[in-house]
Amino acid sequence: MAVESLETEMDTAVRVVHLASSLCVKVQEKLRLPSSTNNGHVKSKDDDSPVTVADWGVQAIVSWVLAEVFGGQNLSIVAEEDTESLSKAESLGLLGAVSNAVNEALSEAPKYGLPKPDKPLGSSDILKAISRCNSLGGPKGRHWVLDPVDGTLGFVRGDQYAVALALIENGKVLLGVLGCPNYPVKKECLSNGCNQTTGSVSKGCVMYAKKGSGQAWMQPLVSGGFPESAATVLKVSTVDDPVLATVCEPVERANSNHLFTAGLANSMGVRKQPLRVYSMVKYAAIARGDAEVFMKFAQSSYKEKIWDHAAGVVIVEEAGGVVTDAGGRELDFSKGVYLEGLDRGIVASSGQVLHEKIIGAVYASWESSSL
């Protein structure tokens, strides 16, 4: 398929991620109010990870907009959240909060160049939109892949998170969009927040790329509409010496073996402290040249999901970076919801030379580790 034929898909995806990011900003502001005012707006899933009004709200908005633009009949959306807990009687207040957030955001949709409903969506419309995202993906056909709020723990804590939307066709990622509402303009603010010392920090962006275009782009996130300013081109760092590289890794120990990545970094002579960042913002950091390496070696019982990687992978690759498993093989998005057949872990880097050094170091370190 020619890259050019994705014009409507790309345009819609970028605009809806801008809109969804604006919803997240508003919900995160409410979450940071005293607990009495946000009571019940954060639930725990079976794996104890939090899910919020924003998770369901973003999923409802993206689902509704994609169905409006592309028709709901044959629309396949693979997404993280379901409506089980939201449909329960005791969740009525939560469903009301989700409905309010969704309708407030959709009323602004024309400012983003998107359709809006004739009248506010009712609870049943919103549950229908969320539950439409029940596809399991697979090797055939076209599937939208959504992580409505990647890094919910970061989101709840007022830290980094991402809205991630990708389009996969016949197992290949065609395009990816990442909304990073708290991504700072200044690199150093990624690790220390900067808020305390500099007051108002300029932050928020949407990154996007089409497979095979050789370009990745970034737009600023602006309040209340689609940005008028032109997008800027993203380029990975030119650093290819591990000694000078900044390595990103997940914040949560449950999701990654910090001990192994620390040993690996040490064996390569990495001197900088690791940049521990929530969510797919790690891919964003590599695409923008703020870091050179992202390594994730999950515990053997953990299975990586496609929505945690699809959008980030294509953006890094088109910005000039490389993403493979730890054996140097491309990630396989054709097997459904999970990244099956993953060799040990995932390695993303700013270029082929650095990547090969890391993969070599993984092989050397693996033999002596007890992972």
The pLDDT of residue 40 is 58
Domain that holds residue 69: 7-234
Residue of 52, 152, 246, 324 with catalytic role: 152
Number of domains observed in the structure of the chain = 2
Please indicate, yes or no, if residue 152 is contained in any of the structural domains. yes
The pLDDT of residue 200 is 47
Say if residue 123 is in the same domain as residue 92: yes
Beta strands 247-249 and 293-296 are: parallel
Say if residue 214 is in the same domain as residue 275: no
Nearest to 213 by CA among 179, 180, 174: 174
Q: pLDDT, tens digit, for every residue of 331-349?
A: 999 999 999 999 989 999 9
Q: Is 152 a catalytic residue?
A: yes
Token code pair at residue 356: 């090969």
Please indicate, yes or no, if residue 1 is contained in any of the structural domains. no
Say if residue 228 is in the same domain as residue 251: no
* Positive or negative: CA dihedral 346, 78, 287, 276: negative
Say if residue 25 is in the same domain as residue 110: yes
Cα separation of the two ends of the chain:
41
Per-residue CA distances from 160 to 181, 182, 193, 296 (Å):
8, 6, 10, 17
Q: pLDDT, tens digit, for every residue of 179-213?
A: 999 998 777 777 666 654 344 457 899 999 999 99
308 is in an annotated binding site: yes
Distance of CA 61 to the CA centre of its chain: 16
Say how far apart CA 286 and CA 237 lie, in whole Å: 7
The pLDDT of residue 41 is 66
11 is in an annotated binding site: no
Say if residue 286 is in the same domain as residue 219: no
Question: Averaged in consecutive runs of 10 residues, what is the pLDDT profile of the chain (371 residues)?
Answer: 74 98 92 60 60 93 98 93 85 91 97 97 96 96 97 90 98 98 81 52 90 96 89 96 92 75 87 89 96 89 93 98 96 96 94 95 75 46
The pLDDT of residue 369 is 58
Which among 179, 214, 234 is the end of a domain? 234
Model pTM? 0.93
Residue of 12, 52, 55, 290 with catalytic role: 55
Say if residue 191 is in the same domain as residue 337: no
CATH number for the domain that contains residue 266:
3.40.190.80
Which among 234, 267, 296 is the end of a domain? 234
Please indicate, yes or no, if residue 62 is contained in any of the structural domains. yes
The pLDDT of residue 193 is 62
- What are the phi and psi torsion angles at 143 (to 5°)? -135, 125
Say how far apart CA 10 and CA 8 lie, in whole Å: 6
Say if residue 70 is in the same domain as residue 202: yes
Strands (E), the chain: 42-44, 50-52, 77-79, 142-150, 162-169, 172-184, 203-210, 216-220, 232-234, 247-249, 275-276, 293-296, 322-325, 346-349
Which among 234, 257, 285 is the end of a domain? 234
Secondary structure (DSSP) of 235-269: -------GGG--EEE-S-GGGS-HHHHHHHHHHTT
Please indicate, yes or no, if residue 166 is contained in any of the structural domains. yes
Distance of CA 53 to the CA centre of its chain: 17
> Hey, what amino acid is at 130?
I
Q: Is 332 a catalytic residue?
A: no
> Hey, what amino acid is at 163?
V
Token code pair at residue 337: 């919801």
Per-residue CA distances from 259 to 247, 249, 263, 277, 292 (Å):
14, 11, 6, 16, 19
Buried b (16+ CB within 10 A) or exposed e, 313-328: bbbbbbbbbbbbbbeb
- Secondary structure tally for the chain: helices H, strands E: 11, 14
